[in-house]
């Protein structure tokens, strides 16, 4: 596996400045939540850092990575290129960054839509992606941020509700498991 310094350098070269800043915010938020919920801090840090590592790739490259790693897509996921960076990110983290930890790869894979069965690390990355400090403010964000440090399950429910409302308002499908 690459060193954290090498990973950060590669991320900075492959992501837009905005996306790189977002990734650092997710990493820092994941560490804070891991400490609150007694989760594995290094795993949360790594998953937070790499959660969007495939965001700079094109759709065909993402699909090739996903296929090469044998990652199953959720029903309908392939129809929305904006969602492919999660499974592609898990594949890229494994192939390019040398991550072999299945818990870290799972958290990267599940950070956009979640999944029926989620671990504590999965939950932390899912919520951290939503509440990180560089996020553009929107109605309800502060409520989710507060909930995240008091009741992670409640925060996860709020994240899903906000995402569903956002999708409904834009005529996008609402994914549920």
The alpha carbon of 63 is separated from its chain's Cα centroid by a whole number of angstroms, namely: 18
Question: How many separate domains does the chain show?
Answer: 1
Residue 166 lies in a domain: no
Whether the predicted pLDDT of 35 surpasses 90: yes
- Flag whether 62 is in a domain: yes
Q: Is 35 contained in some domain?
A: yes
pLDDT in tens, 79-137: 788 899 999 999 999 999 999 999 999 999 999 988 889 999 999 999 999 999 999 99
Task: Say how far apart CA 90 and CA 69 lie, in whole Å.
Answer: 9
Here the tokens at position 86 are: 């999660």
Average pLDDT of the residues of the chain: 94
Is residue 176 included in any domain, yes or no? no
Angle between helices 141-148 and 152-169 (to 10 degrees): 160
| pLDDT confidence band for 177 (50 / 70 / 90) | low
- Domain holding 36: CATH number? 1.10.3210.10
Work out the pLDDT band at 168, boundaries 50, 70, 90. Answer: confident
16 belongs to a structural domain: yes
Domain that holds residue 45: 4-126
**Residue 135 covered by a domain:** no
Q: Is residue 73 part of a domain?
A: yes
Q: 33 or 80, which is more confident? A: 33
pLDDT reported for residue 25:
98
């Amino acid at each position: 596996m690459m060193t954290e310094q090498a990973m950060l350098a590669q991320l900075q070269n492959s992501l837009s400045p905005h996306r790189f800043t977002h990734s650092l915010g997710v990493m820092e938020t994941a560490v804070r939540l891991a400490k609150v919920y007694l989760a594995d801090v290094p795993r949360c840090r790594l998953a937070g850092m790499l959660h969007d590592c495939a965001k700079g790739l094109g759709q065909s490259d993402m699909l090739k990575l996903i296929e090469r790693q044998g990652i199953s897509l959720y029903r309908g996921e392939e129809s929305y290129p904006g969602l492919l960076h999660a499974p592609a990110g898990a594949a890229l983290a494994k192939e390019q960054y040398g991550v072999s930890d299945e818990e870290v790869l799972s958290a990267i894979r599940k950070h956009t839509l979640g999944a029926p069965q989620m671990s504590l690390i999965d939950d932390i990355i899912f919520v951290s992606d939503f509440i990180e400090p560089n996020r553009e403010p929107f109605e309800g964000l502060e409520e989710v941020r507060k909930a995240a440090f008091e009741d992670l399950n409640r925060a996860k429910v709020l994240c899903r509700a906000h995402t569903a409302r956002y999708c409904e308002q834009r005529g996008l499908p609402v994914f549920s498991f």
